[in-house]
Amino acid sequence: MMQKQQPPSPVPAGFRQVEDGSLREVVGLGLDDLVPGLVIEHRPARTVTEAEHVQVLALMGNEAPVHSDTEYCRRTGHPRVLVCGMLTLNIVLGMTVRTTSGMTTGNLALDDVRWKKPVHVGDTLSARSTVLSARRSNSRPDQGIVTCRVDGFNQRGELVVTGTRTFFVPADPDVVRDATGY
């Protein structure tokens, strides 16, 4: 019978030890972890695919030719079709969730969203979050309210989308992790 290996001590950052001696990845930070001024570079980056671009257009019913008609784009000064801004925003926001709001109980606001540069199929996007504010909720004392600026970049390091996002996080993430198995 093979003996179970014990995890290294101390437990590596980003993991927690569970009672059977194994490690579990940490999902989401808590209120005390998300201090104003903290900058988080999210990885892995994501390359926008043709399939997801076409699927999002179909799901949204977006028939704008700038997103689907190469001839229209060529004749209006665009070398290629543009990826829908909502897809760009969703990819960038999605990259931030595992770390910043992996245990959220709700989003509160998405403000000041600006698209800065066009995104095309084949572009690779990365994300960065900067914590702007963090406080305990007055109405839900077991929750914190965090606001982050979220910036999305292309493979050349150019800012393509930016905005602020406000969401709940647990004031004590270990209570939630223990109760939910996370």
Which residue ranges form the domains of the chain, and what is each CATH number? 34-48+84-172 (3.10.129.10)
Q: How confident is the model at residue 11 (pLDDT cuts 50, 70, 90)?
A: confident
The pLDDT assigned to 10 comes to 85
pLDDT above 70 (res 3)? no
Give the highest mean pLDDT range of 18-22, 61-65, 78-82, 159-163: 159-163
Average pLDDT estimate for 162-174: 96
The pLDDT assigned to 7 comes to 52
Which residues have a Cβ under 8 Å from the Cβ of 95 and sit 6 or more positions away?
A: 42, 43, 45, 46, 125, 126, 127
Burial of 8 (0-12, 13-18, 19+ CB in 10 A): exposed
pTM to 2 decimals?
A: 0.89
Sheet holding 107-115, edge to edge: 39-47, 124-136, 143-153, 159-170, 107-115
Which residues have a Cβ under 8 Å from the Cβ of 148 and sit 6 or more positions away?
A: 34, 96, 100, 129, 130, 131, 132, 164, 165, 166
The pLDDT assigned to 91 comes to 97
pLDDT above 60 (res 106)? yes
The pLDDT assigned to 8 comes to 55
